[in-house]
Structure 1
């Protein structure tokens, strides 16, 4: 096993589970800060360059084979896009960035309200539907694209495209003012054993298996990465978006995943599952995951995968 190392987390505690790359083993978490602590959980890692979100491609087995950086993300969201396919939105802390992240893909309408709960952070993406560009420009985000900063991207103008996270956070310091609302701590009573599970979108799937103290993740049946400490399955409304893309001469209707509101969820950790309720009434606030007894569901210290399903 790799040595212990403290890890600052965007989620309200310090995450120490640093993964050794796609499919690699995990570094066990170091000491964590209070799960109920300050409004800005990144105050302890400095005042600049803290958090970066990146939109990552996930369409084919070929793309999945060349993905970089997902294993080192603090929080990964699995999100439905047009055609029933999926994309990842990964959130990285500056203390332990991978050398490269990608393949980087286009922003979607879903990304703006989803990231609003973090406060101002950097969002790296490659392109967007023209109608969405004004909304991205007005959002509380630092937009980083190959157009604004081509030097931060490799293979610019050619697929696939990767991003240098060190360059981005050095040029665009970003300190979120808010936590996404997660709580970390020991597992509560009441969980049920669940070693493996798979969830489906119309044209995509994601599955996890608990092994060696963490979860191995497979996407569309292909191994992706390992070492995730907590898997959150958040049941949401997925509705038609406001924009249509014309790809190869035919319309491609976007969808929007609604992450503001409330609904059922499951939390998987330590080879067990708990049924909870998620709630985010305020778009600027974090998402709470509440047990039937009214207490917050604590996550295991380490990377979090959030699976957003209908």
Structure 2
């Protein structure tokens, strides 16, 4: 402790002080001031003790999200995918696209929007019962409607949908029916409210997580009357036979091909073709195209609303975060070819 000075009122006190000073001088090196005591460590502030916030990710791309979640749900729009749809509008803004078989060996697209919503999308076409296994829980579908048997099943699955007659769904006068139904998707999204944030649509990872795989710079998914071809160019995949408007093609970072069983939906379309139904549940073979390579694996899905799981013979398989086009190619009567 620090020494205190006392009044010098008597000789005894003086003598005692002199003696004490001599003793201190011999023991303490002649300095009559103590060095300051070491300061006690200060309590850490809240900013020093708090952990950095956990990163959040977009459920349809796996990319890190730096903003809050949108107030609207995932919006899935059914888009025509024949030459009559050209040019398709709005695909360039989609987070993810699923291509599914419809009657006659042709295909239809389910375009998913969440992180970004375009002003307009189309041509909008009808739903299929296959969509029960494709549309994520909590999503809203924009469609031109469906056959009565399909509407009954879609409603039974609890999937909300919007069609002609609702605000924001309109006919484009420069096109011919039935390829002239469009939707002001940005306006529609403002009127929709999300209940919960959706779960991840695919098992997301990074490119570093992938097995080596084999070279594959081109691929074609053939559904019968229609085929979709891709070429790996400048780090991504370009749909070389796309019907999308110029500059509005889907920016695919990966193409995921899942071989699926096809059943009969139980009715025929107006042209007399039996309507197929994709059975997107159970298991099947998978091909993941990324970075100019292909990884072989399998997919599993526990029921129509189950999560999509991917695996190779060595363990779980993840999809590098980014924009993915999913091809649901029939296991029978469908083919997938690729080349180096």
Aligned equivalent of 1:142, options 155, 160, 164: 160
Deviations along 1:108-150, one digit per CA (max 9) or x if unpaired, are: 11011221xx211110000211221222222222211113x14
The match for 1:3 is: none
Task: Name the CA distance, whole Å, in 2 between partners of 1:290 and 1:210.
Answer: 23
1:307 matched to 2:330: no
Q: Which among 261, 264, 287 is matched to residue 240 of structure 1?
A: 264
Larger radius of gyration: 2
Match of 1:257 among 278, 281, 287: 278
Distance in 2, Cα, partners of 1:181 & 1:286: 8
Q: State the TM-score, normalizing by the size of structure 2.
A: 0.72
In the alignment, which residue of structure 1 is the partner of 2:80? 57
Partner of 1:11: 60
1:225/1:177 Cα in 2 relative to 1: closer, same or farther (>3 Å)? closer
Change in 2 beyond 3 A, CA 1:233/1:207:
same
Q: Flag the 1:134–1:76 CA change in 2: closer, same or farther, 3 A.
A: same
Q: Distance in 1 between matches of 2:134 and 2:254?
A: 19
Answering whether residue 169 of structure 2 is matched by residue 120 of structure 1, we say no
Q: Structure 2: how far apart are the matches of 1:301 and 1:178? A: 14
Contact 1:82–1:253, Cα closer than 8 Å, also in 2? yes
- Looking at structure 2, the residues matched to 172 and 220 of structure 1 have their Cα atoms a distance apart, in angstroms, of 30
What do the CA deviations read for 1:190-215 (whole angstroms, capped 9, x no partner)? 21111001121110000110001100
Q: Alignment partner of 1:112: what SS?
A: helix
Which one has a larger percent strand, Structure 1 or Structure 2? 1
Q: 8 Å contact 1:119–1:176 — kept in the other structure?
A: no
2:49 maps to what in 1?
A: none
1:289 Cα deviation from its structure 2 partner: 1.1
Q: How many residues align?
A: 269
Q: Equivalent residue for 1:76?
A: 97
Q: Report the equivalent of 2:169.
A: 152
User: Any gaps of 5 or more consecutive residues in structure 2?
Assistant: 1-54, 331-340
Matched, 1:272 2:293: yes
Give the unaligned 5+ runs of structure 1. Answer: 1-5, 15-31, 34-42
What is the rounded CA distance, in whole Å, between the counterparts of 2:220 and 2:71 in structure 1?
Answer: 38
Look up the match of 1:216: 238
- Aligned-residue CA RMSD (Å): 2.6
Q: Deviations over 1:66-107 (max 9, x none)?
A: 1011122111011110011111011111x3211111110011
Q: Is the 8 A contact 2:167 2:188 kept in 1?
A: no
What secondary structure sits across from 1:178 in the alignment? coil
CA distance in 1, matches of 2:300, 2:329: 15
